[in-house]
Structure 1
Amino acid sequence: MNLFQQRKNKHFSYTPRHLRDSESNSDDNIKSQWETVRNQGKNRSKSSNKLVVLLIGLGMIIAVWYILTHYEIS
């Protein structure tokens, strides 16, 4: 009779990611990933420096323009 039988627990065949990929634990792969992360940080700082220089230049142009327009009027 199925009425009095308890249900059995389900079994899953799950293996964690760090156990599935044995190749990703190698030292060479970690070193190459670290190098790419380091290089990305260097590229970001260069582009942000360019942006700061452009903003300062734009601010100076606006300031000179403002000064010259008031110089003409006076």
Structure 2
Amino acid sequence: MSLFKQRKSRGFNYIPRNEKSSLNEDEELKTQWQSVKRQGKLKNRRIISLPLLIVFLGMIIALWYLLTHYQTT
């Protein structure tokens, strides 16, 4: 009995104009974010490492000790 069967709603593949532009903006934003992340990684490599700073600080302290010892004698 097709008299009591309800019709199925039709599905549409409609995308509003403003959503089309937002999809492009989202992709553009993702590519910009990826480029910023890459630049951050390059900057992190240029930073002097902690062990190198500790060695440098040790050399300064040793030089300071030698110069103060030289001055007192």
Q: Which has the larger radius of gyration?
A: 2
TM-score by length of 2: 0.42
TM-score (norm 1): 0.41
Instruction: Choose between structure 1 and 2 for higher RCO, CA contacts under 8 A separated by at least 6 residues.
Output: 1
